[in-house]
Structure 1
Amino acid sequence: MPYLGVFLDGRGFSSSEIGELFALITVARIAGPNLWAVLADKTGRALKVLQLGALLTFATFCLVFFVEGFWALTLSLALMMMFWTAILPQIEGLTLNCVLGHTSRYGRIRLWGSIGYILLTIFTGKMIDMFSSEAPIYVGAIVLFSLFAITLLLKEPPREKNTDHQHLSIWHKINTPVFYAFLMSVALLQLSFGAYYGFFALYVLDLGYSGQATGWLIALGVLAEVIIFLQAGKLITLFGVKWILVISILLTALRWYLLAVAANSPALLVLSQMLHAFSFGMTHAASMHFIHHYFGKKFQSQGQAIYISVGFGVGGALGGYGAGYFWQQGQGAELTFTLAAVAAVLSALSLLFVSSKRM
């Protein structure tokens, strides 16, 4: 994903087209997660849903090798995203159920995704230098096929028979001020990520850094994320979900502002990437902790789906479209990242009036 903008730029797409494509494929995250979650919750076969999603994600992603043009690539990537939404909630749900809600155990498992991300971003950045902007799609195809193969080795956890509160729907959990505030915060945070996801790699390359240096910068952010994951459980217990989220999101705003005004400074660029520990690592761990305890096992998959649909779907789509609109082939980079910082501040403010006891 960090190199999708580089790949599209190599295919001759303008910044506005890249932003529009990001927005359109992200829309698939709105409906997709809920459909898959209902299927997983109703059947109790989360692993089968995961395996099917992984297979179809790989198959539809491979269409990018055979199609060209804006709408053809958008359709293939949107289909991929639709099936991708079946994967992450099931992995998160299976993991959280296996560790029985212990956030410290969750963090230690989750960090392996970050380690894989580090290795692949460095490797892919080098491949771009050695070959071309097409390299990321070859790496992506290999990764997605490997993911599907690995899911075949997993085991379905035993399904618990739970007759409590069968008459209740998920609506009584959704329709509360605390959950609305949480969703608003997540959506604004993901909106702020639009410029980073869509244009960070292009931005750094335009500033004169090499593809390999770009890979190391992205990897550095994820390395910081790995370190924070190891301490996430303790920090959430110490400060609580609300204040972890507020502090982490405000640090995210600082990160985007540094990218806006000081990306020419290698030291400050490194610092901004290290803040990824908070802007993704801590916000993700705290959000997972909140959803797991707030929804319980009965509504786990649907709660995850709503979180992804609204936060990553609606927020991500608006962020991608807005970033593409303001980017202007790199001329609007400072404005785009400044607006991202503003969105992050608003995200933090959304949580300030929520009681810490409710989160």
Structure 2
Amino acid sequence: MEPKRFSTKDLHTGRMVYFFFFSGFGILMTFLNVYYRSRGISGLQIGTLTAAFPLVGMIFAPLWGYLNDRLGNPKVILALATTGTLGSLVGMNAASSFVQLLGAVGVLGAFYSMLMPVVDVVNLKLLEGQRERYGEQRIWGSLGFIFTTLSTGWLFERFGLHTMFAVCGAAFLGMLVGVLRLPAGLRTERRGSSGGLRLLVTNPAWMIFTVGQFILSISSTGMNHFLGVYMRELGAGESLVGMAVGIGAVSELPVMRFSQFFLKRLGAPRMLLLACGAYALRFVLYSWMPSAEWALLVGLLNGLTFGMFWVSAVVYINTIAPPEYQTTAQSLVTSVVSLATVSGAPLSGWVFDHWGGSTLYGLYIVLALTAGGVLAWGVRRTGLGKTHSERTA
């Protein structure tokens, strides 16, 4: 029986969900730690808050994934998680102490942790097996990210960083509208026995990818969380911080647009290696940064770092995961990133407090090169470098 054919309108709805999700994500990633610092919170406390978010997410993401794979109805899961995210933003805005803020951040992590993996799975499902076109959908997330990071810095400078919660809430409200417009027939494979999951997590390619991603994610998430704080230490205002992150997101657009070409020519695993090398170069340039304005140019590498890595990782995991475990697999990827953040954020905060941003990014250079070495070993020794067509030929 042929799978249900989704319409162009359905693909547009998937893009709408991406746009508003990454609009909200862009605000949180760019300005949340700057907001913490504006409240007098120390680097170590910022690291603790940064770690609390993924720590809770690391626990809840596989549970959400299990529930989605059990029900086979991602639309319901997304609506619930988006509503919970909106409620947690209200709590963060109302928090008057570090403990209250820590609790609200934990609630945010519980709901937010499921959004990205399910949004990815939904859009891959809408593409109906044409994984190489994933970038055509995901590019709309980059556009949303660019829109908010470039347009909100001046707003927060004028009206205060506390207004970020209202703007971010508006973005997630737009996402909820998009989720409710997703086609009623959008279903994922329902979970059968546990054998498929066991085959996935014991697959050498999966295990090597997981180790490499974990090491790289310590540095990449640390970069995201401390770049704004590092720039503020160098004299930047909110507008410059937002501009630096927004310009970086602009550089993702060609990678997303031509991801089909890259995936066909290089294969997802080799794209991961390229991303690791680009991350190392990016960290070198940040560690040498004499003024905050340099971040505008360095951020242009974001397409070859985050853009290249994320597209190849999502497509690769979707390729090796059994159909009934695709949401769980993407959720496990999210959990690996969360574990890396939990492990690295307090250390990053401590290094930043004691030795500054230059030393912190020097540490990230070592981690990026190590991650690339792990993945390169996997490509050479275990066949990690094979494309989907090579494995199924």
TM-score (norm 1): 0.93
Q: What SS is found at the alignment partner of 1:262? A: coil
User: d(CA) in 1 for partners of 2:137 and 2:189?
Assistant: 27
Q: What SS is found at the alignment partner of 2:185? A: coil
Distance 1:18 1:160, change over 3 A: closer
Q: Report the Cα offset of residue 144 of structure 1.
A: 1.9
Contact 2:251–2:301 (CA<8 Å) still a contact in 1? yes
AA of the residue aligned to 1:307: V
Are 1:283 and 2:306 counterparts? no
AA of the residue aligned to 2:386: K
Residues 250-289 of structure 1 aligned to structure 2 (within 5 Å): 250-264=277-291, 266=293, 268-289=294-315
Q: Report the Cα offset of residue 129 of structure 1.
A: 1.8
Gaps (5+ residues) in structure 1?
A: none
Are 1:187 and 2:211 counterparts? no
User: d(CA) in 1 for partners of 2:211 and 2:156?
Assistant: 37
Contact 1:191–1:315 (CA<8 Å) still a contact in 2? yes
Partner of 2:334: 308
AA of the residue aligned to 1:357: K
AA of the residue aligned to 2:277: L
User: d(CA) in 2 for partners of 1:124 and 1:265?
Assistant: 18
Q: Report the Cα offset of residue 166 of structure 1.
A: 5.0
Contact 1:125–1:215 (CA<8 Å) still a contact in 2? yes
**Out of 40, 50, 54, which is 2:82 matched to?**
54
Contact 2:58–2:113 (CA<8 Å) still a contact in 1? no
Q: Deviations over 1:193-212 (max 9, x none)?
A: 24322221122222223322
**Out of 23, 26, 32, which is 2:54 matched to?**
26
User: d(CA) in 2 for partners of 1:18 and 1:220?
Assistant: 25
Q: Report the Cα offset of residue 189 of structure 1.
A: 1.4
Q: What SS is found at the alignment partner of 1:170? A: helix
Are 1:224 and 2:248 counterparts? no
Q: Deviations over 1:66-124 (max 9, x none)?
A: 21222211110111111112221111111101112324421111111111111101222
**Out of 42, 45, 53, which is 1:17 matched to?**
45
Distance 1:119 1:263, change over 3 A: farther
Distance 1:342 1:197, change over 3 A: same
Are 1:340 and 2:364 counterparts? yes
Contact 2:47–2:348 (CA<8 Å) still a contact in 1? yes
User: d(CA) in 1 for partners of 2:290 and 2:163?
Assistant: 25
Q: Deviations over 1:233-269 (max 9, x none)?
A: 2112111122111111111011012111125274x53
Are 1:212 and 2:239 counterparts? yes
Gaps (5+ residues) in structure 2?
A: 1-28, 389-393
Q: Report the Cα offset of residue 147 of structure 1.
A: 1.7
Contact 1:107–1:233 (CA<8 Å) still a contact in 2? yes
Contact 2:121–2:326 (CA<8 Å) still a contact in 1? yes
Contact 1:225–1:278 (CA<8 Å) still a contact in 2? yes
AA of the residue aligned to 2:167: V
Q: Deviations over 1:267-286 (max 9, x none)?
A: x5333201110211010000
Q: What SS is found at the alignment partner of 1:353? A: helix
Partner of 1:63: 91
User: d(CA) in 2 for partners of 1:194 and 1:96?
Assistant: 25
Partner of 1:318: 343
Residues 53-202 of structure 1 aligned to structure 2 (within 5 Å): 53-159=81-187, 166=193, 168-202=195-229
Are 1:295 and 2:321 counterparts? yes
Q: Deviations over 1:25-67 (max 9, x none)?
A: 1111211111011111111111101111101111122101221
Q: Report the Cα offset of residue 167 of structure 1.
A: 6.9
User: d(CA) in 1 for partners of 2:163 and 2:151?
Assistant: 10
Residues 227-238 of structure 1 aligned to structure 2 (within 5 Å): 227-238=254-265
C-alpha RMSD over aligned residues: 2.0
Are 1:357 and 2:381 counterparts? no
Distance 1:351 1:217, change over 3 A: same
